[in-house]
Chain A
Amino acid sequence: MSDASFKFEKHQRSLMERLFEPPAIGKMSPVAKVVAYTFLAIWSVFVLFPIYWVIITSFKDAAAVNQGPFYIPFVDFQPNLDAWRAQFNDDRFCDIPAIGRQLYLLVHNSFAYIVSPVFSITPMEPQICKIYLAFTNSVVISIAATALCVAVGSMAAYALARMTYRPKFGNILVFVLLTIGVIVVTTYNGVPWWVSTAVALALFFFFVRSLGKHFKMSLRNNDILFWIISQRILPPIVVVIPVYVMFQAVGLLDTHLALIVLYAVANLPIVVWLMHDFFVNLPIELEESAQLDGATRLGIFWDIVLPLTRPGLAATTLLILVLNWNEYLFAVFIATVKVQTMPIMVAAKNAGEKGVFWWEMCAVIVVMIIPVIIMAILLTKFISKGVLQGAMKG
C-alpha cells in the first residue's frame, strides 16, 4: 500500500479532501453541511410562509387583499380587526356568556340523546355564534372519535399481534352467503329481521361445528391485518353517498354521534396498522412473565403493554386527532346545520355572492390551527425515547 492512502495527521489532507471528507465518523463534511442547511432553509420557507400569510391576511381588509400582494404589516398595509370582528362581534349571539351557553347546550343535548329511548327531552337549538359552535363541534367530535378509534384499534392490533387466528375460507363464505340470505328474505319476503338473523346465526354455528371442521384453507393473522389495512385504500369519496343514505335511514344525519362513529371507523385501519407494529416489537417475555405472575390479559394490556408503547400511542393519537380535526368530505355530507365543523366553516367563506372573503377565511383558519399546535406540543412530551431500557439483559 502506498503512503498516500494513509493520512495520520489532519494537515496532510488537501483542500478538496478537507472540504469533501467528514472530519469524523458521524459528522458531515463542510460541503455537505452547506448543501443540507441550504436545502433545509428553503424548505422551511416553503412550510412556514403559508402560515405567515394566513395570519397577516386575517388582519387585512378587502382593499389590502384585492390590491395586493402586500407582505409586511404596517409597511405595505395597515392591519385592522375587520375579519375578526365579523366572526365575533357582528354575530348577535357572540358574547362571553355564549361559551357557557354552548357548554350547557352540549350537556343538555347529550343527556337528551342518552335518555331518548326512555323519555324525550327536546334538544336545544344552538343560540350561539357560528364560530363557537363550529369550534366546540370540532373539539367534541375529533376528541371523541379519536378516543374511540385509538381504544378499539389498539386492542384489535394487540390481539392480532399476540393471538393466533385461523378463520377458514369455507366458514367466511358461508357467513357471507347467509348474510345475503338474511337481507333478501327480510327485504323481499317480509320476514322480521330478528327472525331471519336468529335463524341465520343458528345455521352458521351449526355449520361451523359440523362441516366447517373439514375445511383446510384458512386466513392467517397477516391476511386479517392486510384486510383491515385495505379498507383504507378505498377512497372515502366512493363510500360517502352510501354512508349518507345509511345515516338518513337510521335518522342520525347532522348529529355528533354520526360523525364520531364515522371518523372512528374511517381511521381504524391506520391505528391497527401503526399500533400492530409497536406491539409486535415489544419483548414477549414481559407479557409471559406477567401471565405467570397471575395478571389477566386485560390487566397485562393496561399495566404492561400500554405504558411501554406510550410513545407510539401518543404519535398515533396525534395523527388521528389531526386527521379528524381537518376532515372535510364526510362532514360536508353528514353535518348539514347543527354539527358543522371548522373545515366546513372555512369552506363556507368561499360561498358568498360577493366573492371569496379571504380575510375572514384566514381568521377562521387561524382559530382552527391553534389547537393543533397546542396538541402537538402536549403530545410530543409523551413521545420520549428509551421506555424499554432496563427491561432486558444486563
Chain B
Amino acid sequence: MADDQQQASVKFDRVQKSFGSVKVLEEFNLDVDPGEFLVLLGASGSGKTTALRILSGLETPSGGQVYIADRNVTDILPKYRDISMVFQSYALYPHKTVGENIGFPLKVRKVEKDVLNTAIVDAAKQVQLENLLERFPRELSGGQRQRVALARAIIRRPSVFLMDEPLSNLDAKLRGHMRAELKHMQETLGITTIYVTHDQIEAMTLADRVAVLEKGVLQQLAPPEEIYNDPANLFVAQFIGSPPMNVIRGSLEGKNFLTNGAKVKTPVTGKVEKGILGVRPEDCSIAPASSKALNGTIYTTELIGDHALVTVDWGDDQIAVKAPKDFKGRQGDKIGVVLPSDALFVFDETTGYRIR
C-alpha cells in the first residue's frame, strides 16, 4: 500500500496569525517529512489548532507561506490542497447514511457509481464498518462514528491527513484502542499525517516527531524520546510526563544547586540567581532520612497499581516520587528523597531556558 501512495511534505514558512490584537501564531516554522506522523502538542490556546486550520485552508494566515509537496498553497482553496481532515466533533452529515458519508468526498468529485461503491466498501473494511453502511450516524456509538470520520478521510487517499483531537470525545478505554488502530493505519497507508492534541500520551505513542507549541511559539520539535529525555526548556519539561516533572526552586552556583538549605550536585555548571531544578518522579527514590538525601515530610501517598506515588513537602515546593507499591509511609512521616545526579535538569526560572 505504502509504495503506490504519493507522499507529500508539508512546510510552514514563518506563518503568523492574529485575531485582532491577539497573536495566535508567531513566526511558525515547521518542516514535515513525506510519510511522517507529526503531532502538534500544546495546551488549549497554544495555536496548534490554528496551525492545522491554516494548513487546511479553513483559515488564512496573516503572514508567511504554507507548502504542501513543495507547492505554495497559501492562497489556494481547501478543496485543491488534496488533504482530508478528521474533526474533533467528527462532523458527520446526520441526514446521510454511513455509506453516503464515507463516499461523500468521491461523490462530489463525480466518480462513477460502481467505482464509488467499491471504494466505499474498501474504506469501510479498513475501519471494520462494512456491516453498518446503511445506518445513520445517530444509530452509531461514539467509536463507530469516529471510524466513519476516519473512513471518509481515507477513501480519497489524500497527500496529507489532518486530525484535530480526533480521540478526545471517546472514553479512556476506547481511546487507547483507537490510538493503536490509528497508528497501524497510518503506518500501512504511509500518508503524511499531522495530528493535533493536548494529550501528551497520544503525542508520545503516535508520533514520529512531536512539535510542542505554547503561546503561538514552537518550543521543541523532536522525536518523542528526545522530548522526554532532553526537554529544550522548562515548559516542555513540565508539559511532558505523567505525573509531571518535579520543580524545585533554588539557585545554581557552580556545579551545586542550593535549595532549602541543601546542596545538590548537578551535571551542569553556571551561576543562576533564580533557578529551577527539574527531576522526573521515576528517577527519584525514597530513602530513610539521612544527610545524603533531601529530608522532608510526606504530604500524601497514592497507590497507583504497579507503584506508589509519594508526594513529599520540600520547602515551598513538593517533590513527587515513584516508590515501590509496598511502600508503607504515612502522611507526616519524615522521609528522605534521593536525587540521581545524572538525571537532573536545571532551568532559569525567569526565562525558562535550560542550562546546559
| A389 near B138: Cβ-Cβ < 8 Å | yes
| A299 in contact with B78 given A292-B85, A393-B89 (CB within 8 Å) | no
| A293 in contact with B105 given A285-B91, A390-B139, A391-B93 (CB within 8 Å) | yes
| A391 in contact with B85 given A291-B78, A291-B79, A292-B58 (CB within 8 Å) | no
| A292 in contact with B78 given A283-B89, A286-B91 (CB within 8 Å) | yes
Mask for B103-136, Cβ within 8 A of A = 1, else 0? Answer: 0110011000000000000000000000000001
| B145 near A387: Cβ-Cβ < 8 Å | no
- Set of chain A residues within 8 Å of B108, measured between Cβ atoms: 290, 293-296, 299
- Set of chain B residues within 8 Å of A223, measured between Cβ atoms: none
Asked whether any CB of chain B lies closer than 8 Å to the CB of A394, the reply is yes
- Set of chain A residues within 8 Å of B85, measured between Cβ atoms: 289, 292
| B143 near A394: Cβ-Cβ < 8 Å | yes
Asked whether any CB of chain B lies closer than 8 Å to the CB of A388, the reply is yes
Q: How far is the CA of A386 from the CA of B140 in the complex (A)?
A: 15
Q: How far is the CA of A388 from the CA of B90 in the complex (A)?
A: 13
Q: How far is the CA of A308 from the CA of B96 in the complex (A)?
A: 10
Asked whether any CB of chain B lies closer than 8 Å to the CB of A307, the reply is yes
Asked whether any CB of chain A lies closer than 8 Å to the CB of B137, the reply is yes
Q: Which of A288, A293, A394 has the most CB of B within 10 A?
A: A293
Q: How far is the CA of A292 from the CA of B91 in the complex (A)?
A: 12
A119 to B: closest C-beta gap in Å: 40
| A292 in contact with B84 given A390-B136, A394-B170 (CB within 8 Å) | yes
Asked whether any CB of chain A lies closer than 8 Å to the CB of B67, the reply is no
> Which of B56, B90, B105 is in CB contact (< 8 Å) with A294?
B105
Q: How far is the CA of A385 from the CA of B274 in the complex (A)?
A: 61
> Which of B92, B141, B152 is in CB contact (< 8 Å) with A391?
B92
Asked whether any CB of chain B lies closer than 8 Å to the CB of A304, the reply is yes
Asked whether any CB of chain A lies closer than 8 Å to the CB of B94, the reply is yes
A-B contact count (CB 8 A): 84
- Set of chain A residues within 8 Å of B139, measured between Cβ atoms: 390
| B104 near A293: Cβ-Cβ < 8 Å | yes
| B83 near A394: Cβ-Cβ < 8 Å | no
- Set of chain A residues within 8 Å of B78, measured between Cβ atoms: 291-292
Q: How far is the CA of A394 from the CA of B89 in the complex (A)?
A: 8
Which B residues, 319 to 346, have Cβ-Cβ distances below 8 Å to chain A?
A: none
- Set of chain B residues within 8 Å of A292, measured between Cβ atoms: 56-58, 78-79, 83-85
- Set of chain A residues within 8 Å of B91, measured between Cβ atoms: 283, 285-286, 288-289, 391-392
Q: How far is the CA of A390 from the CA of B145 in the complex (A)?
A: 8
Q: Which residue of A lies closest to B138 (CB)?
A: A390
B329 to A: closest C-beta gap in Å: 41
Which A residues, 303 to 325, have Cβ-Cβ distances below 8 Å to chain B?
A: 304, 307-308
Asked whether any CB of chain A lies closer than 8 Å to the CB of B314, the reply is no
| B145 near A307: Cβ-Cβ < 8 Å | no
A73 to B: closest C-beta gap in Å: 49
B54 to A: closest C-beta gap in Å: 13
| A285 in contact with B87 given A291-B78, A292-B79, A299-B108 (CB within 8 Å) | yes
Asked whether any CB of chain A lies closer than 8 Å to the CB of B146, the reply is yes
Q: How far is the CA of A295 from the CA of B104 in the complex (A)?
A: 9
Asked whether any CB of chain A lies closer than 8 Å to the CB of B176, the reply is no
Q: Which of A283, A285, A291, A390 has the most CB of B within 10 A?
A: A390
Mask for B44-77, Cβ within 8 A of A = 1, else 0? Answer: 0000000000001110000000000000000001
Asked whether any CB of chain A lies closer than 8 Å to the CB of B356, the reply is no
Q: How far is the CA of A377 from the CA of B177 in the complex (A)?
A: 49
Asked whether any CB of chain A lies closer than 8 Å to the CB of B169, the reply is yes
Asked whether any CB of chain A lies closer than 8 Å to the CB of B173, the reply is no
| B79 near A294: Cβ-Cβ < 8 Å | yes
Mask for B134-173, Cβ within 8 A of A = 1, else 0? Answer: 0011111111011000001000100000000000011000
| A388 near B79: Cβ-Cβ < 8 Å | no
B119 to A: closest C-beta gap in Å: 13
Q: Which residue of B lies closest to A286 (CB)?
A: B91
| A285 near B89: Cβ-Cβ < 8 Å | yes
Q: Which residue of A lies closest to B95 (CB)?
A: A307
Which B residues, 249 to 266, have Cβ-Cβ distances below 8 Å to chain A?
A: none
Q: Which residue of B lies closest to A294 (CB)?
A: B79
- Set of chain B residues within 8 Å of A387, measured between Cβ atoms: 94-95
| A393 in contact with B152 given A292-B78, A293-B104, A307-B95 (CB within 8 Å) | no
B168 to A: closest C-beta gap in Å: 10
Q: How far is the CA of A283 from the CA of B90 in the complex (A)?
A: 11
| B79 near A394: Cβ-Cβ < 8 Å | no
- Set of chain B residues within 8 Å of A289, measured between Cβ atoms: 85, 87, 91
Q: Which residue of A lies closest to B162 (CB)?
A: A292
Q: How far is the CA of A307 from the CA of B94 in the complex (A)?
A: 9
| B146 near A394: Cβ-Cβ < 8 Å | yes
> Which of B84, B93, B105, B109 is in CB contact (< 8 Å) with A304?
B93
Which A residues, 366 to 394, have Cβ-Cβ distances below 8 Å to chain B?
A: 386-394
| B95 near A308: Cβ-Cβ < 8 Å | yes
A173 to B: closest C-beta gap in Å: 27
Q: Which residue of B lies closest to A291 (CB)?
A: B78
- Set of chain A residues within 8 Å of B141, measured between Cβ atoms: 394
> Which of A294, A307, A394 is in CB contact (< 8 Å) with B109?
A294
Provide a sorted-by-A list of 7 A–B residue pairs whose CB atoms are within 8 angstroms.
A291-B78, A292-B58, A292-B84, A293-B84, A394-B142, A394-B143, A394-B145
Known: A285-B87, A389-B138, A390-B136. 7 other contacts (CB 8 A): A290-B93, A292-B58, A292-B83, A292-B85, A293-B79, A391-B92, A393-B90
Binding site for B on A (CB under 8 A): 283, 285-286, 288-296, 299, 304, 307-308, 386-394
- Top 6 closest pairs, chain A to chain B, by CB: A394-B142, A390-B138, A390-B137, A285-B91, A293-B105, A289-B91
